[in-house]
């Protein structure tokens, strides 16, 4: 049910939770949603409004219990928490692979599973998963990151199919080369020449697309993957 049907704007249905919301893309998303009128709660492994390692399901349960107690119903979830541990597949350790998958994919599942029950009860919800262009166009040295981000797209589509009749949408964005501390190690300089737009993207450009997917205007957008990469994966 959209605001057009019951008169309640998206941002008045509850709080928006942004995981990994203390820096980079997550911080920009949190700021944009606040600007759109949402009450935003950020999760971070060592900071944010609530500290939480999203890879730990028990920590996720505790964090969302606290959010509901302090701020109220979660109407919007942005799964942005992520990490990179790059290395060629031939030398990548099990810890490198499993750790990245745990944060980027399992963490998104843990948070999504926790909010689905309340969203179903409310018959309204927005879930947006921040994947990556590497899910569509792989980079050498990122087998773990690419696998996790590609899995996130499959999770997005599956949840969208399961929840489509319940007023809950689940979509994903695939940022390309974005100016954040995750690309400050020179990866942006190496990849920007491959971007048809000829430049590095800004976190605010990702945030604008996420904000749309969280809005009432996106009520009929479900299971979509929106590329924000300057044409990198085209």
For the annotated catalytic residues, the residue numbers are 145
User: Angle, to 10 degrees, between the axis of helix 24-35 and the axis of helix 203-213?
Assistant: 50
The dihedral through the CA atoms of 140, 144, 148, 151 has a sign that is positive
> What's 35's DSSP letter?
H
Calpha distance 200→88 (Å, rounded)? 24
Residue for token digits 């919800």? Answer: 125
CB distance 93 to 42 below 8 Å? no
Please give the C-alpha separations between residue 161 and each of 122, 123, 130, 157, 175, in angstroms, as whole numbers: 18, 15, 18, 6, 23
Calpha distance 142→200 (Å, rounded)? 19
Residue for token digits 């737009």? Answer: 197
Q: 220: helix, coil or strand?
A: coil
Specify burial of residue 87 (Cβ count, 10 A radius: 0-12, 13-18, 19+). middle
């Amino acid at each position: 049910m959209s605001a057009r049907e019951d008169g309640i704007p998206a941002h008045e249905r509850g709080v928006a939770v942004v995981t990994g919301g203390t820096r980079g893309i997550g911080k920009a998303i949190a700021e944009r949603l606040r600007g759109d009128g949402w009450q935003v709660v950020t999760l971070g492994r060592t900071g944010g409004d609530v500290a939480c390692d999203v890879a730990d399901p028990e920590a996720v349960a505790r964090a969302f219990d606290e959010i509901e107690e302090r701020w109220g119903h979660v109407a919007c979830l942005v799964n942005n928490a992520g990490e990179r541990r790059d290395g060629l597949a031939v030398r990548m350790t099990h810890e490198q692979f499993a750790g990245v998958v745990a944060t980027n994919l399992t963490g998104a599942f843990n948070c999504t599973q926790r909010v689905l029950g309340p969203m179903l009860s409310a018959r309204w919800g927005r879930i947006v998963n921040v994947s990556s262009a590497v899910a569509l166009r792989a980079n050498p040295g990122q087998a773990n990151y690419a696998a996790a981000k590609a899995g996130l797209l499959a999770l997005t589509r599956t949840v969208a199919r399961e929840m489509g009749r319940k007023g809950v949408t689940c979509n994903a964005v695939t940022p390309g080369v974005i100016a954040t501390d995750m690309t400050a190690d020179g990866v942006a300089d190496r990849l920007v020449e491959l971007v048809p737009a000829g430049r590095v993207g800004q976190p605010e450009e990702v945030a604008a697309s996420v904000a749309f997917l969280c809005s009432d205007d996106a009520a009929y957008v479900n299971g979509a993957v929106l590329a924000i990469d300057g044409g990198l994966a085209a």
